[in-house]
Amino acid sequence: MPKRSGDGAGEVGAELDDVFHALSDPTRRRVVERLSQGPATTSELAGPFDMALPSFTQHLRVLERAGLVTSEKQGRVRTYRLAPEPLDRVDTWLAGRRALWTRRLDQLDALLYDLKEQQK
Amino acid sequence: MPKRSGDGAGEVGAELDDVFHALSDPTRRRVVERLSQGPATTSELAGPFDMALPSFTQHLRVLERAGLVTSEKQGRVRTYRLAPEPLDRVDTWLAGRRALWTRRLDQLDALLYDLKEQQK
């Protein structure tokens, strides 16, 4: 898999790679789900999971690298927040696909309509 | 990463794992982009890529396993089509996150409004 490159176009692609990769794991999706309800500390996030803390924080690091979450440390407590911008980027990519797909279905509808009219 | 399990709930999660994983590669996303414009054969899909055919067909297999594309062989030619249902599932997952996120922003708006009113 290509990693972040220097040029602007490659950068966007590489970022989407990281975002989709981060979301391909159920633990990480559940963390995103939890954070969409509001900020939470590491231990609040880890609570529901039967997982060693180092493995869990590794998941948090993957989310942070992909830009999906940000974190802030106060004393010994680290608090995580959702950064919705990468989710918007996924959404934009999906919307582009849907636009083309829908246009194709519309063209198919039109074709079927014409065929039906010709048979009248 | 957990693979497909037998129970219904696990199944949905595992499928989203595969879909997000499939979309985490730029070559595979470009294939999905191309197929959202209409069906295409293996060689039509491979055309724009400077990649050995076995590597390229491996990408097609990942997309097919994730349910993002279907294929049909006629003679020696295999034609691929986009299967939009998994993209809809990604969309549904994102929409769930956005609903919660937007509600939180609304609550924040309301709170800021109340604070402003109190200062009048």
Choice between A78 and B96, residue whose per-residue pLDDT is larger: A78
- Which residue matches tokens 């998994």? B86
Considering chain B, what is the average pLDDT of its residues? 83
Classify A79 as helix, strand or coil.
strand
Token pair for B98 = 């956005």
What is the distance, to the nearest Å, from the Cα of residue A77 to the centroid of all Cα atoms in its chain?
A: 26
Amino acid at site A89: R
pLDDT(A104) > 80: no
Q: What span, in angstroms and rounded, lies between the C-alpha atoms of A82 and A70?
A: 7
A37 neighbourhood in chain B, CB within 8 Å: 100, 104
Q: Is the dihedral of CA B10, B16, B18, B24 positive or negative?
A: negative
- Which residue matches tokens 């054969």? B41
Q: What DSSP element (H or E) covers A41? A: strand A40-41
Establish whether this prediction's ipTM goes over 0.90. Answer: no
pLDDT(B60) > 70: yes
- In whole angstroms, how far apart are CA A77 and each of A41, A68, A88, A102, B99? 7, 20, 29, 48, 28
Nearest chain A CA: its distance from B82 CA (Å): 9
User: Which is nearest to A86 in space by CA: A107, A68, A60?
Assistant: A68
- The answer to whether the CB atoms of B36 and A101 lie below 8 A apart is yes
Average pLDDT over residues B93-112: 75
pLDDT(A116) > 90: no
Percentage of chain B exceeding pLDDT 90: 53
pLDDT tens digit sequence for B6-56: 333 444 566 899 999 999 999 999 999 999 888 999 999 999 999 999 999
Residue A120: what pLDDT?
75
A84 neighbourhood in chain B, CB within 8 Å: 97-98, 101
Average pLDDT over residues A60-80: 95
- The answer to whether the CB atoms of B21 and A26 lie below 8 A apart is no
Q: What span, in angstroms and rounded, lies between the C-alpha atoms of A86 and A69?
A: 9
Residue A99: what pLDDT?
75
Q: Does B48 touch chain A (CB under 8 A)?
A: no
Q: Considering only CA atoms, give the Rg of chain B.
A: 21
Q: What span, in angstroms and rounded, lies between the C-alpha atoms of B80 and A106?
A: 20
